[in-house]
Amino acid sequence: MHADYIVVGAGSAGCAMAYRLAEAGRSVIVVEHGGSDWGPFINMPGALSYPMNMPRYDWGYRTEPEPHLGGRELACPRGKVLGGSSSINGMVYVRGHALDFDHWRDTGADAWGYADVLPYFKRMEHWHPGPHGGDPAWRGKDGPLHVTRGRRDNPLVKAFVEAGREAGYPVTPDYNGHQQEGFGPFDMTVWKGARWSAASAYLRPAKRLGARIVNGLVRRVVFEDGRAIGVEVIRRGRTETLRAGREVILSAGAINSPKLLMLSGIGPAAHLAEHGVAPVADRAGVGRNLQDHLELYIQQAATQPISLSKYWNLFGKAWVGLQWLLARRGPGASNQFESTGFVRSAAGVEYPDIQFHFLPIAVRYDGKVAAEGHGFQAHVGPMRSASRGEVTLRSPDPAEAPRIQFNYMSDPQDWADFRTCIRLTREILGQEAFAPYRGHEIQPGAAVQSDDELDAFIREHVESAYHPCGTCRMGRADDPDAVVDPQGRVIGVEGLRVADASIFPRITNGNLNAPSIMVGEKIADHVLDRQLPPKNAQPWINPDWRSSQR
């Protein structure tokens, strides 16, 4: 089998890449190890806690024991299914802050500033603001990716935004538009009550344009004279080579793209030698620069039976499921993340570095509801930790999971930042807007107040927000720690690119699905030797940021 381009991974960026290449008339093969994304657990937004805990859809990765979290091993779900992690994620849609991308540009990712990426965000979006406002001039209106908002009819959801306003923060009608900072409605990749993944938005249209999907496990990239000419794939128990006439593009994500590069001989030469992998290009940065967002759930009991806990029983779940199956309506038609906030942690911080996800139920990602029953919670965490980890090979066997060491909380500032997060969240949940509903604090609990007590709670309860990135960092071609250049081309070889969240120089502000898709869109244009013209739009920066926290 052969094609002009082979895309490894049918995830957020890979699906966008396949569609844009097929749309341009190129022949494309997409190789995906996972299977179909059909089924209610993936497609019902309210069931989001299920697919990321199902081996059928998830690679099931876990971190190494994290030394700063008491040796805990944290879950690291990654999509093993058509649509990749966009088929198992929480469907939250956040572009990131404009200054995130200016930072990328200023640290070596030329032509990746906000002016350069904004046209791609607009091209990919079909935004449906609903009744909650926002300036459509900042958003896309006819792209393949439907972006909607929940009904926001639970009073707790509105109370969260009002509490932010009462605490002195701005209210923003659209954090993905002119002003990120503040409290307001959340965007989600849901359309007509169902998950709208990258497979729905891009891969199915790509198939109609002739792109082929091959189910198999990629062992390595095949090189001839320093040029990628295909990939070696295990299919139905046999190994075969798929040939690329023009390029191979790795879109396997922040964990599997560096793993595949190292298995193919691209990475730190000494590490490759430990595993008997013949070096093709000595690139010290492969697998390094691993970043993520951590978060805590601050949980509050509710004094009125208005939370989603009323559905957390056999009859309630059956009723929600029936409404969704018959009409794509009811609580199952939303991811229930319907209000958010982006704030700055201190005066002197130029743009938000803390994100809130509000949820009108006290529940964990694994679906375990708080024993107290009715409640609500805010997920909170810092956006720009200085801690860095790495992905390394465990063995030369492509079927074996790599070693994943995030090195969470290794920077002392992380602990101060998380204490600030907890205290700011408590202040917001303590506002008058929540007075009719507020019971006792479930977690951490009112007795947990001192720095030491908060640190102990953080160490035991902090969880990944499932936003790994950075392991094939983009930079200038002469940067010894960069893995790809600003066009996504792997430095030191020919005919090979990477297009996914692994190329992020630094993690963006918020959830990563939107910028991952944007990377697929933009790198596809680099492959096709074209670029959308930059759009110089000035985002809102708090004029008092130097002197005021809010």
Q: Say what percent of the chain tops pLDDT 70.
A: 99
Instruction: Say if 1-110+188-291+389-406+471-525 and 151-185+294-382+410-461 have the same CATH topology.
Output: no
pLDDT, mean of residues 35-59: 93
CA atoms within 13 A on the CB side of 361: 19
323 CB-contact burial (10 Å; exposed 0-12 / middle 13-18 / buried 19+): middle
pLDDT digits (tens, 9 = 90+) for 266-288: 999 999 999 999 999 999 999 99
- Are the beta carbons of 535 and 118 closer than 8 angstroms? yes
DSSP 427: H
CB within 8 Å of 410: residues ≥ 6 apart: 67, 68, 387, 388
Q: Tell me the pLDDT band of 365, cut-offs 50, 70 and 90.
A: low
pLDDT, mean of residues 242-256: 98
The pLDDT value recorded for residue 116 is: 98
Backbone φ, ψ for residue 437 (5° rounding): -120, -15
- Rg, C-alpha atoms of the chain: 22
pLDDT digits (tens, 9 = 90+) for 192-238: 999 999 999 999 999 999 999 999 999 999 999 999 999 999 999 99
Q: Which residues are annotated as a binding site for FAD?
A: 81, 89-92, 218
pLDDT, mean of residues 334-348: 97
How many residues are given for the chain? 550
Residue 49 pLDDT exceeds 90: no
Q: Where are the domains of the chain?
A: 1-110+188-291+389-406+471-525, 151-185+294-382+410-461
Question: What mean pLDDT value characterizes the chain?
Answer: 96
Lowest mean pLDDT among 117-121, 317-321, 420-424, 487-491: 317-321
Q: Tell me the pLDDT band of 363, cut-offs 50, 70 and 90.
A: confident
- Are the beta carbons of 355 and 97 closer than 8 angstroms? no
Q: Tell me the pLDDT band of 371, cut-offs 50, 70 and 90.
A: low
pLDDT, mean of residues 332-337: 95
State the Cα angle at 293 between 184 and 365, rounded to 5°: 75
SS3 assignment, position 229: strand
Q: Tell me the pLDDT band of 366, cut-offs 50, 70 and 90.
A: low
pLDDT, mean of residues 496-518: 98
SS3 assignment, position 353: coil
Give yes or no: 467 in active site. Answer: yes
Q: Which tokens sit at 530?
A: 């074209």
Under CATH, which number does the domain 1-110+188-291+389-406+471-525 receive?
A: 3.50.50.60
Whole-number Å distance between alpha carbons of 418 and 410: 13
Q: Which of 97, 128, 467, 526 is catalytic?
A: 467
Residue 496 pLDDT exceeds 80: yes
SS3 assignment, position 417: helix
pLDDT, mean of residues 446-466: 97
pLDDT digits (tens, 9 = 90+) for 400-416: 999 999 999 999 999 99
Q: Tell me the pLDDT band of 256, cut-offs 50, 70 and 90.
A: very high
CB within 8 Å of 55: residues ≥ 6 apart: none
**The CATH number of domain 151-185+294-382+410-461 is 3.30.410.40:** yes
Query: How far are the Cα atoms of 34, 186, 433 from residue 437, in angstroms, in the given order?
Result: 44, 22, 9
Q: Which residues are annotated as a binding site?
A: 81, 89-92, 218
- Residue 422's identity, in one-letter code, is I
The pLDDT value recorded for residue 373 is: 81
